[in-house]
Structure 1
Amino acid sequence: MSLIRRLRGGYRPLVGAIHRPSHLLAYRPAQWSTDAKEHPTVITTGYVTGSPCWLDLGSPDTEASAAFYGAVFGWTFRPAGPDAGGYGVLHKDGRTVGAIGPLTEEGASGAWTVYFRTADADATARATELGGGRVRAGAFDVMEAGRTACLTDPFGAEFAVWQPAALQGLEAVTEEGTLTWAELFSPDPATAAAFYGDLFGWRREEVTLLGMAYSILSTAEGDQGAAAFGGIAPLQVEGQKPRWLPYFEVADPDAVARDTEENGGSVLVPPVDAPGVGRLGALADPFGAPFAVVHSPAAGD
């Protein structure tokens, strides 16, 4: 279940820092109410323009990656068929929670890619270039599922867009073992926020946490608190790569961290308690793809 559903007394972002977990804090803007009925979820499957709607992993060994995430999250992997180029879909309890495919770009390393919904993948690709970003793969059809484009923002963070047809997006989010938050690390958060705002119409709320600026991102539609799905944080150590980091909801971050190490992954930041947010940590799979996990507090905690 979601953070906002369970939090009382004020909206609190899930703020993660791979290198500085001391920045995992909560805040309470007075103008936002978070009554459980008003703000039922963080990421939802009611996809609108700009929503995170798909997630896939590029891996040098899809079978090994599928085995790792199966051991850690209980996901099952189903190849998409002989025409899919090794791409396959991840399921939990019979519902789609992501996908895995082979690396296709020269010099690429294992990484998760977050896809944002768009009404026109071609137009979003053009707008990316006009905004100073780069088109890594121009818009193309994915059989009858939809249309996609692989993009990079002006600072090097990779993302993709999804124009749905038969496939709307992930079937399960903000539940145990599924995507619950998406966080961008950028060397210039304000400019990055403006770039993505131009692409998707995202709204943002600027806050300060221990002297660190943090932007809470919401889609253009609906109540701003209810439409929140992620955030932007500054890079925090020299050499850190701009990237989108997915967060997965889990029942026990410590157990997931142990399972990660036992199955060949690594713990980047051991799980820590963040008041008002929950317990969370940053991990990496055996091929170096980083991801984060969080256990949100129950209502009344």
Structure 2
Amino acid sequence: MLFRDEPWPEGTPSWVDLMVPDQAKAVAFYSGLFGWDVQTGGEETGFYGMAMVAGRPVAGIGQTPPGQEMPAVWTTYLSVSDVDKTATAITEAGGQIVVPVMDVMQEGRMAVAVDAGGAAFGLWEPGNHTGTQVTAAPGTMAWNECMSRDYPAAKAFYEQVFGYGFQDLSNDDFTYAVLLLDGRPVGGVGALPDSVPADVPSHWSAYFSVADADASAAKAVELGGQALGTPFDSPYGRQVRIADDQGVTFLVVAPNEQSGKPEGWED
């Protein structure tokens, strides 16, 4: 288990949150699955819930505001030092700002954008809240990736806005590149396969670390969710896609023999 108090480097996925019609139902599901202690804020926060591991924040769960129609999804936030400057760069690169830059009390500043390939993501300029403070433990953020309907446009967009480098992992079966910051992997961008139904849009996906992917998939079903496929091994861990009991999808990944345990890993 690793702790972090400093802001994450520019362009690093630093936070994920979920806005759903039934916040209490989501809190029960994810607390049961990941062992989170979700602490709900006051009215001034919109009763936003902070999911805690070892007493530190790792993710957010909120209630969809009344009268607002928005998809229930896990949103990935990229850390930025100047959200206004980044918002301008996004529009110049062919993206859109769909939730304008705003202050979140003294916690930080944020916006929500759509990239040139149509995938939505958030921007977070740290204030008191720097993002996730725990990694390398079950229930913490493990990986974030953009799966796009327009891979060339998405790749060019993120390179222009955030200055990412790329490690190409593509083969005959898929198109995918690791996003690099100063040579360090921070996320991924890939092409949605032809096998994915046409109504699935470009999107960012969040992966959460677990100790046992098979046990987590079974637990999700017990809690009213679904395992969308069978857990499988990869060089990066044993993983499976899950839908929670409100239909929101995410992935879990556990260390396996191929991946080994990440530095600082603690079950």
TM-score (norm 1): 0.79
Asked whether the 8 Å contact 2:237–2:259 carries over to 1, the reply is no
Q: 1:47 to 1:300 in 2, by over 3 A?
A: closer
Q: Does 1:249 align with 2:232?
A: no
Distance 1:270 1:298 in 2: 18
After superposition, the Cα gap between the structure-2 partners of 1:73 and 1:157, relative to the gap in structure 1 and judged at 3 Å, is same
Query: Contact 2:117 / 2:153 at 8 angstroms: preserved in 1?
Result: no
Query: Could you say which residue in structure 2 is the equivalent of 1:85?
Result: 46
Structure 1: how far apart are the matches of 2:258 and 2:7? 23
Query: What is the match of residue 201 of structure 1?
Result: 163
- The correspondence of residues 93-172 of structure 1 with structure 2, limited to 5 A, is 93-104=54-65, 106-172=68-134
Could you tell me which runs of 5 or more consecutive residues in structure 2 were left unpaired when the two chains were aligned: 261-267
Q: Per-residue deviation at 1:169?
A: 1.3
Aligned partner of 1:67 among 12, 28, 44: 28
Residues 258/299 of structure 1: CA separation in 2 closer, same or farther (3 Å cut): closer
CA distance in 2, matches of 1:257, 1:125: 38
* Whole-angstrom distance in 1 between the partners of 2:47 and 2:55: 20
Counterpart AA for 2:12: S
Counterpart secondary structure, 2:44: coil
The one-character-per-residue Cα deviations of 1:95-143 (angstroms, maximum 9, x if unpaired) are 1110111224843221100111111111111222222222111111111
Q: How many pairs align?
A: 255
Q: Which residue of 2 aligns with 1:293?
A: 252
Structure 2 residue aligned with 1:261, among 221, 229, 232?
Answer: 221
SS at match of 1:144: coil
Deviations 1:23-43 (A, max 9, x none): xxxxxxxxxxxxxxxxxxxx9
Q: What residue identity is the alignment partner of 2:70?
A: A
User: Conserved in 2, the CA contact under 8 Å of 1:75 and 1:92?
Assistant: yes
How far apart in 2 are the matches of 1:140 and 1:161? Answer: 11
Q: 1:297 Cα shift?
A: 2.6
Equivalent position SS for 2:146: strand
Equivalent position of 2:190 in the other structure: 233
- What is residue 39 of structure 1 aligned with on the other side? none
In the alignment, structure 1 residue 280 sits paired with structure 2 residue 242:
no
The answer as to whether partners of 1:44 and 1:174 remain within 8 angstroms in 2 is no
Cα RMSD of the aligned pairs, angstroms, is: 2.1
Unaligned runs of 5+ in 1: 3-42
Query: CA 1:61–1:163 in structure 2 vs 1: closer, same or farther (change >3 Å)?
Result: same
For residues 290 and 96 of structure 1, the distance between their equivalents in structure 2, rounded to whole angstroms, comes to 21
Contact kept, 8 Å, 2:36 with 2:52, in 1: the verdict is yes
Instruction: Please name the residue that 2:264 is paired with.
Output: none
User: Are positions 1:174 and 2:136 aligned together?
Assistant: yes
d(CA) in 2 for partners of 1:137, 1:61: 22
Counterpart contact for 2:233–2:256, Cα < 8 Å: no
State the distance in 2 between where 1:96 and 1:107 align: 27
Counterpart Cα distance in 1 of 2:205 and 2:250: 6
Measured at CA, do residues 82 and 114 of structure 1 come closer, stay the same or move farther in structure 2, by a change above 3 Å? same
Q: Is the partner of 2:133 in helix, strand or coil?
A: coil
Identity of aligned residues (%): 34
**Shift of residue 45, structure 1, vs aligned partner:** 6.7
**Which structure is higher in RCO with an 8 Å CA cutoff and minimum separation 6?**
1
Deviation at 1:159, TM superposition (A): 0.5
TM-score using structure 2 length: 0.89
| C-alpha separation in 1, matches of 2:115 and 2:224 | 31
Q: Whole-Å Cα distance in 2 between the matches of residues 164 and 266 of structure 1?
A: 34
The answer (yes or no) to whether the contact 1:103–1:109 under 8 Å persists in 2 is: no
Work out the CA distance in 2 between the residues paired with 1:130 and 1:234: 23
